[in-house]
Chain A
Amino acid sequence: IVLTQTPLSSPVTLGQPASISCRSSQSLVHSDGNTYLSWLHQRPGQPPRVLLYKVSKRFSGVPDRFSGSGAGTDFTLRISRVEAEDVGVYYCMQARQFPHSFGQGTKLEIK
């Protein structure tokens, strides 16, 4: 499964919203009814951390300014108001089937 993220780079103003799209080459709906699409954030020099799983479920400790939506093959990560700590690279990831795969990454930077 190939995941395509857009944009690859996103300059945003602090306090403004941001969104990243992830399109899958195949449906990510599993036979168990769940959609295994996650979003991860990686700050420079740090390991990735999970923000959202199963499209829209926030991982423990993730601020509610992060939200996810979508179904089937098209998904979106939204940040309602960008903060300085949100810089870094965002990846979508599918765990619908093996081999698991990641999008190319979207670099979020502050204008």
Chain B
Amino acid sequence: QVQLVESGGGVVQPGRSLRLSCAASGFAFNTYAMHWVRQAPGEGLEWVAAISYDAAYKYYADSVKGRFTISRDNSKNTLYLQMDSLRIEDTAVYYCAGSLDYWGQGTLVTVSS
């Protein structure tokens, strides 16, 4: 069955970096566009970034543009999110999603001094 497992979350100070990973299985990862969506504590869903199946196209929310970088390794069935210059308002559960149809369980990122 389809599985998306995020990892790499944790507590980090403002201004520092963190890299999230999402390991995919159970579907043809190299044919799916992939997304990152986040949810701040007690809040709604916010789309963060997307990457085409072949990594040719990448899109970002204005709130993370220039600070976050989405990438993928189709040979490893893995999606990444490099998060630099983290801010307190980046605190959220980060979900990876395959074509926004399949969702992982999420990984919590807490930005705090």
The answer to whether A and B interact is yes
Q: Which of A99, A102, A104 contacts B60 (CB 8 A)?
A: A99
Task: Give complex CA distance A59, B62 in Å.
Answer: 30
Q: Which chain B residue lies CB-closest to A49?
A: B103
Which residues on B sit within 8 Å (CB–CB) of A93? 45, 47, 100
Task: Give complex CA distance A53, B46 in Å.
Answer: 18
Which residues on A sit within 8 Å (CB–CB) of B46? 102
Q: By DSSP majority rule, is chain B's interface helix, strand, loop, or mixed?
A: strand
Q: Give the number of residues in B that approach A within 8 Å (Cβ atoms).
A: 18
Q: Give the number of residues in A that approach B within 8 Å (Cβ atoms).
A: 21
Task: Give complex CA distance A102, B35 in Å.
Answer: 14
Which residues on A sit within 8 Å (CB–CB) of B104? 47
Q: Which chain B residue lies CB-closest to A93?
A: B100
A98-B59, A99-B47 known; A47-B35 Cβ under 8 A: no
- Seen from chain B, the residues whose Cβ lies within 8 Å of a Cβ on chain A are 35, 37, 44-47, 50, 59-62, 95, 100-101, 103-106
